Chain A
């Protein structure tokens, strides 16, 4: 399910439940369906979950709705698929697709629902549930340590446990957004990302625009020390306009995603160390409120305090510079 399927949550869930079909989303579509639904697999692709990858790649048929088939989503070309989109340019955009339906998604889905029969495949449902259970266990292992340094998954878990269900969350770009896409379980939150351009520095401006537009909603920016420093002068814009945004900053003093790319390319790590900044202090000097967190056990209370504050806040989370998969 891609961004084009937004606003169709109920119709989509109805069809998925009828077919017993698990649902993976693109990163941009994260949050369109609640990720704690029994059929939800999470985000598909390079910043995605294991269940999404395993189940999508093992499927007999994919129904792809409102997706632009970004390379990073990695929808496999070798699986039979039915594609639905309102833009003819998107149909078969990356490779030939067996069935292409050109339609306004909101208009088509009820029609589709009427013509589909209920389907029960208990064996398949069992497999899906097993894969999801394994994933939950893996995620649990990722957050179980209480010794520093804090790991990305732990920060995301703490955020998940404290944030409002209808908050607006603006993601920046980098390992910080990977952890969010992969580990944060979205229920009803609106999520803003820089999709195709994937520009660092998107998170803070997006949070500013969101809080200006919805003054009564909880607005969060998830970011890293890399992306934040590109736009950090505008944290004071939040203070100046009395915008009580909360910046969740994963600080590993690195361009960590670049180091992973260097690893994959077989070149040494270079030009990826970022000089440390005391971001909590910076937030204070802007007239906002900074919270520094270095131990996993301190995460939840720090985030809670930041979210509850009526001032612009920044939670400066010192994280493990190594990306570690459990």
Chain B
């Protein structure tokens, strides 16, 4: 089954341990990982994604994807806010998403933050992944031992969501391999 998974950790270092563990599960053929990203939320509620430095146009797509993905993982209630908020936070460039959102659209950004807070609280980090898994226990068990909380939505459910727009949503920011910035080397 193809799922989008978010594993929330209280600590950034643990999030990268979680990312590494996820790719190890792939390496052991327990699951197949199609893409991953690590998202942080600072104390002020701003989102940040660890990426390589990219073209500004791509960085905008990153922002849009994160807002939509977090909203969709939050469920139908979060989807609208995530989609709308994603457009607003997509105004940010570089790796920092949400910090420089257009003030005219701040209402959307605030709503998205509120609706997705239960997925990613202030100060927390999350591993976001697109995975194929025949059973959920390998990821659940491994992440639990690392102190992570797993949220999961079937990709089909996301695709059926009224807010889903393939061109808008598809998470091109997910790295299709284990990417860990040098500042977080394990």
A binds B: no
Could you tell me which B residues sit within 8 Å of A by CB distance? none
